[in-house]
Amino acid sequence: MTDEPRLRLAEGKRLLDSGELDAATRILAPLTGHPDADLAGEAWLAIGQARYRADDEPGALVAWQNAAAAGGQVAWQGWRAVAEQQVRDGNLDEAIAAYREADRRAPAAERGAIANRIAWLLKETGHDFAARRHFNRARGPYAGYAPYVTWAIIAINVLVFVADGLMGGFNLGLFGGGAGGGGPITAGACGAGSPILSGGVICADGVAAGEWWRIFTSAFLHLGLLHIAFNMYALYLFGPILEQMYGHVEYFILYMLCAAGGSVLTILAAPDQAAAGASGAIFGLFGLAFVVSRRHHVATTRQARAILSQAGTLLVLNLVFTFAIPGISWTGHVGGLLVGVMLGFLLPPQQVETISTMWRGPGGERLRGQMPLALRASIYLFAIALLAIGTYVAVLRVPSFG
C-alpha cells in the first residue's frame, strides 16, 4: 500500500464501497491529521460513513463533527452530515444549528436544499415565521428567475395580434367568429382573413404546399380579444413556473413542441379546417404541469404549488368547454395536451429539486442523479419524429398530394 495521501484516500473509499468497513477505517485514520484540510475532511467524512454503516451512530457523529472542524471545501458536507444525524437522534435544535453552519459554507447550488431542510425543522419546532422566511429563500429561484421566454412569447402574441388587427380590423368577440384554442376559421381555406392571419394559420393545404412554418406560426395568431386574453393569462400563470423548472431553452422547446402537437393533430383529424391560437401550447403546459407535479414531485413555493394544483381542474373544465361549445377545435387542444403529458412524464425538471434528487446517503452523495443529457435529447428527438411522421401522413391525405 502506497503512503501517497490521495491514493490512500482513494483506496479507503474503495474499501468502503466494497463493504470492508474496518479495513477502510484503518487506512483512512492516518489521513485525519494531514495538514491539507480538504484531505483530512474527506477522510473524516469517509470514516463517518464507515461507522454509520457499522451501526455506530455516535462514532459517525463524532467523525462528521471532526470533518466539519477540519475546515476546507468539504466542511459544509461535515456540517450537513452532523445535522442529518442530529435529526435522526431527535435533536432538532442542534440539527438546525448544524444546517445553518452548512448553509454558510455550502456552494450556491446546494444552499436551496439546505434552506429547505432548515425551514421544515423550524416549522416542526414551532418557528413558523422563520420557517416561511427560509422556505422563501429555498424557493427563491422562482421569484428571482426571470421568465424571459414567457415574457417574449406573450409580447410576440400581443404584437402580432395588434398588427393583425390594424391590417384586418380588431374583433372584440370571444373567438373572432371562429373558435378558440385553434378554432376553425373557414372550412378548407388558408387564405381567409388578414394577410398575417391567412399566411400563418394551420391548414392542411398550406402545409402540403410546403408552408411548414404554419405548424408553429398558428400558435402566435388569435381570432379575438378575449381569445388572446384567456390564452395569455394562462401562460402568465403557468409559464414562469415551468420555465424555472426546465430552464429558458428547454422550456421554449417544450412550448413549441406542444404548439406543434396541436397543429399536427388538426391537419390529421380536421384537414378541411384552418385554425389558429396558442391554446394547443397552453393545453400542453397544463398537461406538463399536471404530470410533473404528480410524477416528479418538485419542490416549489406555496404560490407555485397552489397554481400547479389547479392544472388538473383547469384541464377538465377546459376539455368540457372544448367539446361542449360548438366551433372550438378540439384537435388543437388535445394535440397539445398529448405532447405535454408525454414530455412531462418522460422528462423530469433539471433546474429544481425533486423528491428523487433530494435523497442523499450518509456522506452527502446524491442517491439519484439527473437524467443524462443524451437521454433527454433522445426523448426530444422522439417527440420531433412523431410530429414529423404525423405531418407526413397528413400531407399524403391532402387530395392533390395523396
Catalytically active residues are 279, 333
Distances (CA, A) of 202 to 160, 268, 276: 16, 11, 6
Distance of alpha carbon 147 from alpha carbon 248, whole angstroms: 7
Cα Dmax for the chain: 84
Rounded CA separation 47/64 (Å): 8
C-alpha cell at 43: 477522510
Contact 387, 264 (CB under 8 A): yes
391, 257 Cβ separation under 8 angstroms:
no
Q: Inter-axis angle of helices 37-53 and 5-17, to 10 degrees?
A: 20
Going by the DSSP 8-state scheme, the letter that residue 209 receives in this structure is T
Distance CA 175, CA 322 (A): 13
Identify whether the C-beta of residue 277 lies closer than 8 Å to the C-beta of residue 247.
no
Distances (CA, A) of 88 to 58, 84, 134: 11, 6, 21
- DSSP assigned state of 189: -
DSSP structure string for 211-251 = -TTHHHHGGG--SSHHHHHHHHHHHHHHHHHHHHHH-HHHH
Q: How far is CA 148 from CA 48, 165, 234, 312, 376, in A?
A: 45, 25, 16, 26, 23
Residues 254, 246 contacting (CB under 8 angstroms): yes
The Cα–Cα gap between 79 and 67 comes to 8
d(CA 183, CA 266): 10
Residues with Cβ within 8 Å of residue 73, at least 6 apart in sequence: 38, 41
SS3 category, 284? helix
| Spatial CA neighbour of 222 closest among 282, 191, 182, 256 | 182
